[in-house]
Amino acid sequence: MTTARANWSYPTTIWFGAGRMRDLADACAEAGMSRPLIVADPFLSGQPVMEEALGQLQRRGLKPAVFDRLQGNPTSQNLDDGIAAFRSGGHDGVIAIGGGSALDVGKTVAFMVAQKRPVWDFEDIGDYWRRADEQGIAPIIAIPTTAGTGSEVGRATVITNEVTHEKKIIFHPKMMPRVVIADPELTIGLPPALTAGTGMDALAHNLEAYFSPTLHPMADAIAVEGTRLLRSHLVGAFRQGSDIEARANVMIAAMMGAVSFQKGLGAIHSLSHPIGAIYGSHHGLTNGVLMPYVLASNREAISDKARHLVRCIGLECDGAGEPRGFDALLHWVLQLRSELRIPHTLGELGVHRGDFARIADMAVRDPTAGTNPVPLTVESCIRILEAAYDGGRS
């Protein structure tokens, strides 16, 4: 069923299905682009997918160029270089293709070409986004080649401030792409380790959105189904990367996580952001390491909702036929991490205990901290970090 082709709007326009990359030129027409700047992960340059994209656009009379000077945790320098490339090439839109880094840089470039203020003035705090000049924000087409961040359907990006070594969430409604091309064929070559890391990112989005105390029943429903799809298909995509059915379902779940986290996120992300900024660790992998320890720290506040989630995603029941609630959820997360070969402790990521106070201080100031089910303090963050370092449960 999920290998079928379909066009959705929720609210982003999504062209989903195997082979939809061949519709790229039509998407450019839909978005009004004739001179697109392709912002791409560096490893895609010279790959067949990029050659096919450039050839398709050129045959239709478009004049594309490629910018790929970015890194795994994109920085303000990557952003500045992208803005310069857009302006010098006289481009009229952005095609962002790759993982979350390329999508975030591409979306932020399209937004910032219209701005005179620094990007940090548009951090996702209160109504900072209203500071933006909306005239001249370039249209965006987003094409994910991983299934994790869901940035393709989001209105926010994550950029690291090179001066402070802090990850900042940049937000504006017009950073939402005009068209998303969600082609699961593009994820077929993703190595198992990246499939695992990006998949854990998608799971973190769905779980944290669902457990956020913000009232948004529609987002809750999306997050529950996204979690169910990941339970059913993530291990399959990891073990058999050519399984297009598994790839398609994980890609859908990643988009669902990003749609649902308009509700908010929590301590998984607020701790992961500074760790990634300081150590350069993969975001999804870091989320996967932190996940059970944050869930355990939130246990008292999320147990009732966990019972409902466990029932909905089909986890086993106890002998009386009743869902085992939070314990079943935590057991599954630990088992999933083991199957995906996610490290069990922060020490395995190279995180140093001596940095815990700094990480905790950055975490409580992260925009995602405010919607954690339990209010975060520096002290509670340090307890989570200690548990994650020792491999125990807080």
CATH number at residue 325: 1.20.1090.10
**In this model, does residue 7 exceed pLDDT 90?**
no
198 in the same domain as 141: no
339 in the same domain as 240: yes
170 in the same domain as 50: yes
343 in the same domain as 238: yes
**How far is Cα 175 from Cα 152, in angstroms, rounded to an integer?**
10
Contact 309, 225 (CB under 8 A): no
Which bin fits 150, alpha (ψ -120 to 50), beta or left (φ > 0)? left
Contact 209, 268 (CB under 8 A): no
**Domain C-terminal end among 167, 187, 207:** 187
Model pLDDT for residues 30-57, shown as the tens digit of each residue: 999 999 999 999 988 888 989 999 999 9
Tokens for 231, please give them: 């339970």
Residue 217: CB atoms within 10 A of its CB come to 8
Q: Is residue 39 part of a domain?
A: yes
**How far is Cα 291 from Cα 293, in angstroms, rounded to an integer?**
6
Model pLDDT for residues 237-274, shown as the tens digit of each residue: 999 999 999 999 999 999 999 999 989 999 999 999 99
Average pLDDT, the chain: 93
Residue 359: CB atoms within 10 A of its CB come to 25
Model pLDDT for residues 128-143, shown as the tens digit of each residue: 999 999 999 999 999 9
Tokens for 5, please give them: 């082709």
50 in the same domain as 149: yes
pLDDT at 315: 87
368 in the same domain as 234: yes
Tokens for 170, please give them: 């940049």
CB contact set of 172 (below 8 Å; sequence gap of 6+) = 111, 122, 129, 132, 137, 155
Model pLDDT for residues 199-245, shown as the tens digit of each residue: 999 999 999 999 999 999 999 999 999 999 999 999 999 999 999 99
Model confidence, pTM = 0.91
**How far is Cα 132 from Cα 142, in angstroms, rounded to an integer?**
22
241 in the same domain as 342: yes
**How far is Cα 56 from Cα 47, in angstroms, rounded to an integer?**
14
Cβ-count burial 28-61 (b if 16+ within 10 Å, e if not): beebebebbbbbbbeebeeeebbeebbebbeeee
CATH code of the domain covering residue 142: 3.40.50.1970
Contact 163, 116 (CB under 8 A): no
Indicate the burial class of 307 (C-beta count within 10 angstroms; 0-12, 13-18, 19 or more). middle
Span 366-375, average pLDDT = 95
137 in the same domain as 161: yes
202 in the same domain as 75: no
Q: Is residue 1 part of a domain?
A: no
Model pLDDT for residues 281-313, shown as the tens digit of each residue: 999 999 999 999 999 999 999 999 999 999 999
**Domain C-terminal end among 140, 159, 187:** 187
Tell me how far CA of residue 283 lies from CA of 8, 265, 271, 324, in angstroms.
Answer: 28, 14, 10, 30
pLDDT at 60: 95
Own/partner pairs, 361-365, CB within 8 angstroms, 24+ separation:
362/166, 362/273, 362/274, 362/277, 363/267, 363/270, 363/271, 363/273, 363/274, 364/270
Contact 373, 213 (CB under 8 A): yes
**Domain C-terminal end among 132, 156, 187:** 187
User: Domain range for residue 255?
Assistant: 192-390
Q: Is residue 132 part of a domain?
A: yes
Model pLDDT for residues 321-353, shown as the tens digit of each residue: 655 799 999 999 999 999 999 999 999 999 999
Tokens for 310, please give them: 């466990």
Q: Is residue 374 part of a domain?
A: yes
Span 112-123, average pLDDT = 96
- The single-letter DSSP state of residue 137 is P
Instruction: Please give the tally of structural domains in the chain.
Output: 2
Q: Is residue 140 part of a domain?
A: yes
pLDDT at 21: 95
Q: Is residue 317 part of a domain?
A: yes
